[in-house]
Chains A and B, each alone.
Chain A
Amino acid sequence: MSFFVETFIGGLLAGVMYSLVAIGFVLIYKASGVFNFAQGSMVLCAGLTFVTMRDRGIDFWLAGLITLTIMVAIAIAVERVVLRPLVNRPQITLFMATLGLSFVIEGIAQIAMGASVHELDLGIVDTPITVGEVQVSQFDLVAAATAGVLVIALSIFFNWTRVGIALRAIADDPLAARSIGIRLQTLWQIVWGVAGFVSLVAGLLWGARQGVQFALTLVVLKALPVLIIGGFTSITGAIVGGLIVGASDSLAEIYLGSLLGGSVSTWFSYVLAVGFLLVRPTGLFGDAPIERI
């Protein structure tokens, strides 16, 4: 039993890490209706920039600030150069454009900062804590707490600030929002900037877990089912989806894997996601688009 609980909790905590990446997707999707596949590259770019600064002996907070500035600059550039010209294009075209964009970001980031693996030490001790018979990783707890703080901060931002309210107006109806004087472009840039910040946090935590290297871009593959389950437009959905994916992946790998021969976690969450979609075609917390004939 304690083994089950341990696997389950380990999975939940891993799921929080997926949620961190998924939140970045949700922010951009809400504001500009783009499923931004370049999120993985942004995580890599943020992690790489930060760790390169640290390697040159720059102070932790200063490095964070510089990285954030760069991420916001990238966000603004992306909005100007890629998104604005692609307004009103089919969603799949926008998606593929962000995939093309990810090649650009990865290429340039590695030209500037090289392709070597960097160690990233955030100073978080990672010895397990034992509660009863169950072991829990301290690092994962810190990551989960970070995600929690992030979600609360974002909720406050979206619900209580002028910018946040304007954003919700845009997500509801872009045309109406514009007609009452909301400046779409500025808001997009703000949201992409916030998404840049989220990728910095994700890049740091993932980078500390596995080293800052190209494989950071692959975290998006785990964020996808999280988004399908939680819905593309809900931050709460990203958290709940992450927990579901993390826990079910871990349990499936152990219990289903011993029946089917392992590595079931490569597809289990996707199949689960399709199951959810069949019941709720726009995810657990997603908004259903209105169809007019």
Chain B
Amino acid sequence: MTAIGTDTIEGFGSTDETARSWLRIALAVALLAGLAAVPLVANDYWLNAVLIPFLIMSLTALGLNLLMGYAGQASLGSGGFMAVGAYATYNILLRLPELPLPVNLLLGGVISGLVGVIAGLPSLRIKGFYLVASTLAAQFVLEWLFNQYGWFSNYSTSSSISAPRLAILGHDLSSPTGRYLLTLATVAIVTVVAIRLVRSQTGRTWMAIRDMDTAASVIGIPVAAGKLKAFFVSSLVIGIAGALWAFAYLGTVDARSFNLDRSFQVMFAIIIGGMGSISGNYVGAAFMILLPILLDHVGGAVFGGAIDPGQLENLQKALFGALIVWFLIKEPRGLAALLSRAWTQLASRFER
């Protein structure tokens, strides 16, 4: 049994391929325009507590999916790499304030990527579930590092870091709308780059490594370089997401926000959303971020006052866990596959 089995989703292989792909692009643009217009109607709650974390979680999932869904290397170090991105970006902002914000985010991501390469070195020797376990070392070392050494947080009393003033070309981005648009733009750009990457030679190398590691090396695919490249790109994306988590979402953060639970959350997002699927990241992130909030609202509305609040909270927790297990059982290829099937059915109904 392999540690990670993936199925890419090829749901669109019918006759008028080009028309469909144009439709998808048009839809994506419309969706993006729609999302960009959200601040016109949504209140602070929707931006700060729902949409921003959802978008950042999607980005984190995308980062892990490149590594796990495409290159087949599972990792539970995502929280640690988010922390690297956040603390690196904070220090660059603090020490090199003249750099523009996008450059900053990218630099923070690159540092996280390099740390990712180091953490990925054991993958050259260790495989399968033991590799997953070994990435935990990176998770715990990184979390400890930022908590332990005051230098990373500029010796703040609480060893937490606070968002410096966020601005691009003089535009202040510290309002909820500004932070939302910054997040949205970053997610959109990284998604486009990621789609191109997985369709390039690099992406094909990764998939060869994922599908048959040993065979790939036999036919001359540079397995070691491919794996490390995957760790680099993945951690870079996750690092950027970590910086956004710290500054666009929370504002003030300490290393605990990037603990093992966060790594689990990201892993859930891609397994439930769909490994080896770009859209799966969004669906999975929505599941992990939006569903608990939804359960909480529904629970409060239906049972509020009638049931003891402690019981209600535990009930929600159990229900969320049960839903996770249920979807894992029902949809081996992730919710993205489910949606893709639904979409194909819908589209064919329209065509008739």
Contact = CB atoms under 8 A, between A and B. Distances in A.
Task: Determine whether A and B are in direct contact in the complex, meaning some CB atoms lie less than 8 angstroms apart.
Answer: yes
Interface of A: 33, 35, 81-82, 85-86, 88-93, 95-97, 99-104, 106-108, 110-111, 114-115, 221, 224-225, 227-228, 232, 260-264, 266-267, 270-271, 273-274, 277-278, 281-283, 286, 289, 291, 293
Given A90-B2, A266-B140, A282-B130, 9 more contacts: A85-B329, A89-B332, A92-B3, A92-B4, A93-B328, A95-B129, A106-B314, A115-B314, A291-B214
Nearest to A33: B1
A91 B324 contact: no
Given A102-B321, A111-B314, A264 B134 contact: no
Contacts of B322: 100, 103-104
Given A104-B325, A107-B317, A263-B148, A289 B128 contact: yes
Contacts of B128: 91, 289
B144 A101 contact: no
A225 B141 CA distance: 14
Give the interface size class of chain B: 35 or more
Nearest to B142: A267
Contacts of A262: 148
Contacts of B320: 103
Contacts, number: 153
Q: Which 8 A/B pairs are nearest by Cβ-Cβ distance?
A: A103-B321, A107-B318, A100-B324, A267-B140, A90-B5, A270-B137, A107-B317, A104-B321
B129 A91 contact: yes
A262 B316 CA distance: 37
A33 B316 CA distance: 29
B125 A91 contact: no
Contacts of B147: 263
Nearest to B131: A277
Contacts of B215: 293
A228 B133 CA distance: 7
B332 to A, nearest CB: 6
B318 A283 contact: no
Contact of B144 (A35, A232, A263): A263
A277 B134 contact: yes
Interface of B is mostly: helix
Interface of B: 1-6, 74, 122, 125-130, 132-134, 136-137, 140-141, 143-144, 147-149, 212, 214-215, 218, 260, 264, 267-268, 271, 310-311, 314-322, 324-325, 328-329, 332
A278 B260 contact: no
A242 to B, nearest CB: 16
A100 B130 CA distance: 21
A99 B241 CA distance: 24
Contacts of B134: 228, 270, 273-274, 277
A92 B270 CA distance: 11
Contacts of B321: 100-104, 106-107
B314 A89 contact: no
B311 A111 contact: yes
A273 B328 contact: no
B132 A92 contact: yes
B129 A232 contact: yes
B130 A267 contact: no
A93 B116 CA distance: 23
B3 A261 contact: no
Which of B132, B321, B332 gathers most chain A CB within 10 Å? B321
B314 A110 contact: yes
A12 B284 CA distance: 42
